[in-house]
């Protein structure tokens, strides 16, 4: 296994849980709550 592949795998394993947490939180907030700037946050997420 090359060094670049190992680094890519480590980054992948660190980023996927982080993206799931942040994405799940933002999805829940956008679906359930009303707040000032919701349209802007929705636009940035999409």
In which domain, by residue range, is 39 found?
3-45
pLDDT at 16: 94
3-state per-residue secondary structure call for 1-46: CCHHHHHHHHHHHHHHHHHHHHHHHHHHHHHHCCCCCHHHHHHHHC
Number of domains in the chain: 1
Instruction: Give 1-46 pLDDT, tens digit per residue.
Output: 689 999 999 999 999 999 999 999 999 999 999 999 999 989 988 8
**Residues in CB range of 35: below 8 A, 6 or more apart:** 29
Inter-residue contact 26 to 18 (CB < 8 Å):
no
The Cα 24–Cα 36 span in angstroms is: 20
């Amino acid at each position: 296994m090359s060094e670049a592949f190992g680094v890519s795998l480590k980054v992948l394993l660190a980023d996927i849980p982080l993206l799931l947490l942040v994405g799940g939180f933002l999805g829940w907030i956008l679906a359930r709550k009303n707040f000032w700037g919701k349209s802007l946050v929705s636009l940035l997420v999409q």
